[in-house]
A and B are shown apart, each in its own frame.
Chain A
Amino acid sequence: MSSIGTGRIVMGVEKLIASKMMLPGSNRRIHSVHRHSGMAVAGLAADGRQIVARTKSEATNYENVYGDQIPIKELAERVASYVHLCTLYWWLRPFGCGIILGGYDRDGPQLYMVEPSGVSYRYFGAAIGKGRQAAKTEIEKLKLSELTCRQGVIEVAKIIYGIHDEAKDKDFELEMSWVCDESNRQHQKVPDELLEEAKAAARAALEEMDAD
């Protein structure tokens, strides 16, 4: 259940398929929060849904009051305060999920991660969920500033395929989204043909590794 993000925001989620009866494409883990930003969730899905709903309402409210799209930094702060709130009172329990918030505002693409404690930092590459340690190591190997949007998509796919443990985990579905100049600075699902290309490249890279 890992999510990864890089600059020129690309987000990918490894969705473990609980049952073969599930429709592919259902149980979205990456949600659009506004036109320019999206959020990937790792952890309890129901808690994630609550955070996404709150974030959507914060973003719309900001636009109604100030007439402009909410800056990602501001949005991250609001999400973090909300998550932190639930650690302050005995009658509330902390959220059981971490989120990665990626968006493109006038200061460029930005990536923030919010943990259940309410802590939020800005990252150039981040991972949450089960395989995050391995994923973080892989991301650190990449030269993030040199990757284009399309290359970023392929790299993220490779990392997710790489950390997926065939033996231990069940089958998984890859869900990816991006916010970059190519998507007109809107948060969208990665187009199907690019997603297929990324999956193929990732599988090929795996086979190369296995062949060694």
Chain B
Amino acid sequence: MESNNAKPGLLCSPEASQSQRTLYPYVTGTSVVALKYKDGILMAADMGGSYGSTLRYKSVERMKPIGRHCLIGASGEISDFQEVLRYLDELTLNDNMCDDGNSLGPKEIHSYLTRVMYNRRNKFDPLWNSLVLGGVKNGQTYLGMVTMIGVNFEDNHVSTGFGNHLARPILRDEWHEDLSFEDGVKLLEKCMRVLLYRDRSAVNKLQIANITEEGVTISQPYSLRTFWGFSAFINPTPGAQ
């Protein structure tokens, strides 16, 4: 997949000539960071859609509510995320139409997404996303992640993309059980600030989503305060010599 897109017959897949696989992503979203707190899940993602190295779209909502109990966040190819949303829409529609008092919870949706991602990868036609799935159902909070090759796991805090490298260490040190809402938001903002400083495809316009037993709220977009008043920026010469 990472090689050329020349003669499809040379690759292992038998129907490679008919399949239209995502060979490389075009419009991508960067990291999503999420953690469990006392009442549910907090998830943060910026609103950038990069077209290669250009920060082309700056109002892309990369977190969406699913049904009554879940919140999904995605990094990677935005069009593939829209396709995932379509799959989930069909799934929840059929579930709603049964109208039997049951509804799909986060565990079920995570399981479904894992199967979808893994099976697509096996056909050499992946959905180029890392999905974060969080939710609360019947008092139980759940937070999980699926990558484009089908790796999936459940944890107390997850992050995708650059967040894996930059946000995970912060979360490992500072996350603890029963975080309050304010502490959770502060921790997420700390991670997002580091990502903003160090990830070139991050934009300073983010949303924080909160899901509890009552429902989902996705905040209005806002910006983090950054600090650039370092002496090395003001007077770079001494450091350069």
Contacts and interface: CB of A to CB of B under 8 A. Distances in A.
Interface string A181-202: 0000000110000000000000
A60 B99 CA distance: 17
Interface string B79-122: 00000000000100100110100000000000000000000000
A32 B96 contact: yes
A35 B99 contact: no
Contacts of B96: 32, 35
A56 B97 contact: yes
A34 B93 contact: yes
Contacts of A32: 96-97, 99
Contacts, number: 15
A31 B97 CA distance: 7
A28 interface: yes
B126 to A, nearest CB: 22
Contacts of A188: 99
A111 interface: no
A127 B90 CA distance: 32
A33 interface: yes
B97 to A, nearest CB: 4
Contacts of A56: 97
Nearest to A59: B93
Contacts of B97: 31-34, 56
A28 B99 contact: yes
Question: How many of chain B's residues touch chain A, expressed as a range?
Answer: under 10
A35 to B, nearest CB: 6
Contacts of A35: 93, 96
Interface residues of A: mostly helix, strand, loop or mixed? strand
Nearest to B86: A64
B82 to A, nearest CB: 11
B182 to A, nearest CB: 32
Interface string A19-39: 000000000100111110000
Interface string A54-71: 001000100000000000
B93 A189 contact: no
Contacts of B90: 60
A189 B90 CA distance: 20
A181 to B, nearest CB: 19
A71 to B, nearest CB: 17
A7 B165 CA distance: 58
A189 B99 CA distance: 8
Nearest to A56: B97
A32 B96 CA distance: 8
B155 to A, nearest CB: 34
A204 B93 CA distance: 38
Nearest to A186: B96
Contacts of A34: 93, 97
Contacts of B93: 34-35, 60
Interface string A40-61: 0000000000000000100010
Interface of A: 28, 31-35, 56, 60, 188-189
15 contacts: A28-B99, A31-B97, A32-B96, A32-B97, A32-B99, A33-B97, A34-B93, A34-B97, A35-B93, A35-B96, A56-B97, A60-B90, A60-B93, A188-B99, A189-B99
Given A31-B97, A34-B93, 13 more contacts: A28-B99, A32-B96, A32-B97, A32-B99, A33-B97, A34-B97, A35-B93, A35-B96, A56-B97, A60-B90, A60-B93, A188-B99, A189-B99
7 A-B pairs closest in CB distance: A32-B97, A32-B99, A189-B99, A35-B93, A32-B96, A56-B97, A60-B90
